[in-house]
Amino acid sequence: MAMKPGTLSVELGNRAYAIVLGKGLRPKVDAFFAKLRAKKRRVVVVADTRFAKKNHAFMDGLADNVILLPSGEKTKSLGQLEKLLGQLSRSRLDRTGVLAAVGGGVTGDLVGFAAASYQRGIDFVQVPTTLLAMVDSSVGGKTGVNLPEGKNLVGAFHQPIGVFADMGLLKTLPAREFNAGMAEVIKCALIADAELFEKLETKAPFKWDSPELPTLIRACCALKADIVRKDERETAKTGGRALLNLGHTFGHAIEKVGGYGCYLHGEAVALGLVMAAELSVRLKTLSAKNAARVKDLLEKQGLPIRLKEVLPLRELMQALKRDKKVRAGVLRFVTMKGLGKAVTRDNVKEADAAACFLKIGARQ
């Protein structure tokens, strides 16, 4: 797929697709949908209710058929998936139909999984409206829902046919959700870009209208596109797509035990990054000074570095052991060998993981 100004390409052979980046992208979205309709393909938009209410100019006339989803992490459930699939069936959408997810990571994950499941798989488009979705969840084809037992335990790899990241839509994003998205930006820097980390330290805190933001979003999308191209289904024995899980193994446990919705996903990731840095110090692969820099940057961006309230260590460790990245009963973590260089580790002792939870305020 040829590169164009304002676009990046996720190279996956005949499933390659473009990530279109910019502001005021509604005309580009309309043109994309028009091409689909010209081929007699019906487009159904599934949007986050809160976004739709705040952004009438973007939503008006977007599609004849619009389904609204409740806002919040609890929407990522089997119950909501069943409800959406029923709506699609009753509307008589066939295999040529296309779903368009307009919202944050919750909307994209749920709609993507519905697309992967409905009539054994139909196409879908991602129109991310939050920073977190733009830099992370809308790219790469991971879709799914949560179970009471754990985060993202049910899902499928199902790549979109296009991604439209309109940065102008971030204007209506609450500051707390913007900061949550910045956790994923910081994560990308910690994985593979020490220079980017230093830039973040210098310029933080960022806001939706920070002049550097488009460059940050593009850098994160480019990194993820490259990693997904090399290891789409996270099958590499070491490194690969698993590196994108830096902070997530700890973070998912916090989300589960804290109750979905208590912490935004990015807030839980921020806590997970603090813990990943602490674990790396314990494993003697990261200096205490650099771990402190990670914590300082997160705090400067308005992200949590300690638990809001005490969570029981026993429940956190149980959630950790149910994480989908566990292999043959062995806990798998992503750690750091310096700022900007992440690695996967399988030989982590439970006591070390537990100590990291205690460090951020968990209790025995």
Q: Classify the C-alpha dihedral 62-166-266-208 as positive or negative.
A: negative
Q: State how far the Cα of 351 lies from the Cα of 153, in Å rounded to an integer.
A: 25
Active site residue 252: yes
Active site residue 184: yes
Contact 336, 285 (CB under 8 A): yes
Active site residue 120: yes
Give the SS3 label for residue 143: strand
Contact 332, 344 (CB under 8 A): yes
Active site residue 245: yes
Judged on CB neighbours under 10 Å (0-12, 13-18, 19+), 357 is buried
What is the DSSP secondary structure assignment for residue 157, as one 8-state letter? E
Q: Which residue among 76, 158, 187, 265 is the active-site one?
A: 265
Q: Which residue among 234, 255, 267, 278 is the active-site one?
A: 234
Element (H, E) at 88: helix 78-90
Residue 158 region by backbone torsions, left for phi larger than 0, else alpha for psi between -120 and 50, else beta: beta
Take residue 227 and report the two structure tokens written for it.
Answer: 């990693």
Q: Which residue among 158, 241, 256, 295 is the active-site one?
A: 241
Alpha carbon distance, N-terminus to C-terminus of the chain = 53
Length of the chain in residues, anyone? 364
Active site residue 158: no
Q: Which residue among 146, 152, 245, 290 is the active-site one?
A: 245
Active site residue 142: yes
Residue 119 region by backbone torsions, left for phi larger than 0, else alpha for psi between -120 and 50, else beta: left
Find the angle CA(29)-CA(136)-CA(131) to the nearest 5 degrees: 70
Q: State how far the Cα of 51 lies from the Cα of 58, in Å rounded to an integer.
A: 10
Take residue 95 and report the two structure tokens written for it.
Answer: 């295999």
Q: State how far the Cα of 192 lies from the Cα of 219, in Å rounded to an integer.
A: 11
> Cα-flanking dihedrals φ and ψ of residue 143, to 5°?
-130, 160
Q: Which residue among 76, 151, 187, 248 is the active-site one?
A: 248
Active site residue 265: yes
Q: Which residue among 184, 255, 267, 278 is the active-site one?
A: 184
- For the annotated catalytic residues, the residue numbers are 120, 142, 184, 224, 234, 241, 245, 248, 252, 265
